[in-house]
Amino acid sequence: MNLASKQTTFALTTPLYYVNDLPHVGSAYTTMAADALARFQRLRGQEVLLITGTDEHGQKIQRTAEKLGRSPQAHCDEIAAGFQQLWQLLDIQVDRFSRTTAAPHKAIVAEFFQRVWQAGDIYEGRQQGWYCVSCEEYKEERELLSNKHCPIHVNTAAEWRDEPNYFFRLSNYQQKLEAFYQANPDFIQPETRRNEVLNFVAQGLQDFSISRAQVSWGLPLPVNPEQTIYVWFDALLGYITALLEPGDKPTLDNALRKWWPINLHLIGKDILRFHAIYWPAMLLSAGLPLPGRVFGHGFLTKDGQKMGKSLGNIINPFELVERYKPDAIRYYFLKEIEFGRDGDFNEERFVQILNANLANDLGNLLQRTLKIAQKSCGGKVPAVDLASLEVDSLKVSGVTLGEQVATAYEHLAFDKACELALNLVRQGNKFVDEHKPWALYKEGKTDLANQVLYSVLESARLAAFLLSPIIPNISQEIYRQLGYSGTIPNNWEHASWGILQAGQSLPEPSPVFARLEVQATG
């Protein structure tokens, strides 16, 4: 599915992260991926809206705040600020930060609820079952461990609930959802996640509770203010709230005017059911078009083990970015882990990959050729006739590379996009070793030497442009050292081979990526 070919706007979201604690590396992983895709879409000339934010209601927040001696709102404010700080540290360009405690969100939720109520899809009933506060979700008894603990939050017992609630008629949407999935096979990705959803739906959909009787920290239920709206019914609508233009009156019509439907929801696989089943059914009930895609990525481990406080192996993303800088973090997680599968962080592997790819391959290619240009070309890009390059193996590879990388980005194959660009870089290093432009200059073969040098410099530029969604700072520095001023242009013409201008002045070269040493992380 080509995401960039038939539209001029592109809206994508991360989850709205739950504010029970400061962001962890899993939250950073999703958001780095979303930012890389958003940057790619901007390069393609799209008008992009990247939405992230925080999910701030529910019993878990209420209890966490009480435990810490804060008001729920004060707790939410502090944690939301932590998320915003981390995104800045990771050079994530957020367009909208949606908070479910914001006043416009309350108005959007009330209007949406009214639409679903008028459709006859909400009714009063009684909820009995085991509830995991950490998941904010009722669990079927077969899902629980033998001691009635949640299989995800194994240290916390599920709580038995028996209370009056209001329910959403999810069962009404069984056939409509199955028909939609069949007609839109790319809606849920990757295929493993799609199969999970299809299997779950095939077992029969049950109505789910959308209110809570014993939770005060939440939005009042419009038809019964003594109850609050279930956190997931509330939080999913934060995606719509985020679409409001600043200053607009908070109505559904205003929110949906430009950016709806969302093109892509990027989520962790643990919240797939809410986004791929509950959310589409809610939207169908309200008479709204459905999003383009829901992509559920995998989990992260550290040194092959699941991360947890009890194991003492939590990766602190604030410490990680402080020690190794944002581009290094972005590159490792998006290059080394196939997006959609589970992945692992190993510090030695991290250092090894970064040094090999960015210091040795990319940095080395740029430095050695720039030094030759300073010495033999007067510090300028050599003049060549692009149409008649005699030494053209890099050109042959570079001419088709842009569209290959674009296809990889469109399919969220960040690892493949990196590898394609790095292959050109490796080719460039081999090209220099084989043709020895320094020797050609000494032998008086200036035209041939210029061709070699131009091909290598242009290949470094092209690789930097194609990698810029993932390593924006390093790519920007490469462009600067190739004589460009300002930021890398959002112009997909730069994905073509042969953009570097002859005679362009080249500043004195300096390393674009300093080699890393293993450092202890939190």
Kindly give the confidence (pLDDT) of every residue in the chain, 522 residues in length, as a single tens digit, with 9 standing for 90 and above. Answer: 344 444 689 999 999 999 988 999 999 999 999 999 999 999 999 999 999 999 999 988 999 999 999 999 999 999 999 999 999 999 999 999 999 999 999 999 999 999 999 999 999 998 887 888 777 777 777 778 878 888 777 777 888 888 899 999 999 999 999 999 999 999 999 999 999 999 999 999 999 999 999 889 999 999 999 999 999 999 999 999 999 999 999 999 999 999 999 999 999 999 999 999 999 999 999 999 999 999 999 999 888 887 766 566 788 999 999 999 999 999 999 999 999 999 999 999 999 999 999 999 999 999 999 999 999 999 999 988 877 776 678 999 999 999 999 999 999 999 999 999 999 999 999 999 999 999 999 999 999 999 999 999 999 999 999 999 999 999 999 999 999 998 999 999 999 999 999 999 999 999 999 999 876 544
Domain 350-495 adopts which CATH fold? Isoleucyl-tRNA Synthetase; Domain 1 (1.10.730)
Q: Among 267, 294, 271, which Cα is nearest to 177's?
A: 294
d(CA 362, CA 349): 18
Our CA dihedral for 273, 278, 283, 289, rounded to 10 degrees, sits at 30
CB count, 10 Å around CB of 492? 18
Question: Beta-carbon neighbour count of residue 95 at 10 Å?
Answer: 14
Global confidence as pTM: 0.93
Q: How far apart are CA 150 and CA 154, in angstroms?
A: 5
Q: Which residue has the tokens 């979201």?
A: 13
- Dig out the tokens for 250 from the structure: 């908070």
DSSP string, 336-371: HS-BTB-EEE-HHHHHHHHIIIIIIIIIHHHHHHHH
Query: How far, in Å, CA of 170 to CA of 204, rounded?
Result: 10
Rounded CA separation 71/50 (Å): 30
**Residue 34: which residues within 8 A CB-CB, separation 6 or more?**
12, 13, 14, 50, 52, 92, 266
Name the token pair of 2: 């080509």
Closest CA to 341 of 190, 187, 197: 190
User: Alpha-carbon distance 449 to 380, whole Å?
Assistant: 14
Q: Strand, helix or coil at 71?
A: coil
